Amino acid sequence: MRHAINCELTYTKGAVQQTNYNHHEAMRMYQCPLIEVRGLENDPKVRGVGEPPVPPAAPALNAIFAATGLRIREMPFNKFIDFV
């Protein structure tokens, strides 16, 4: 979710300018919604539960449209709305 809100890759002469995470502003606690994580216990073998939920986070933020009427189609979202 942090990436959808305030991270952006920019390029100069085809090279990425942000080469590590420290080049991005971190999400603040007041910007983070309540997140509930549940692991499925339907297999005796433990599998990854950390990274698989990340990709759906950005599309889930389309709740912004319901709250503000803004249809945001480009990331990072903080270019268009303040997350206070």
> What single string gives the DSSP state of each residue in 33-71?
PP--------SSS----SSTTSTTHHHHTTHHHHHH---
Both structure tokens of 71: 């249809």
Domain assignment present for residue 84? The answer is no
Domain assignment present for residue 42? The answer is no
| Residue 80, Ramachandran bin (φ over 0: left; ψ between -120 and 50: alpha; else beta) | alpha
| Cα distances (Å, whole numbers) of residue 32 to 48, 49, 75 | 23, 19, 17
pLDDT tens for each residue of 9-53: 889 999 989 888 788 777 778 877 777 777 767 777 766 666 666
Domain assignment present for residue 60? The answer is yes
Domain count, the chain: 1
Domain assignment present for residue 41? The answer is no
User: Containing domain of residue 73, as a range?
Assistant: 2-35+50-79
pTM for the model stands at: 0.44
Domain assignment present for residue 40? The answer is no
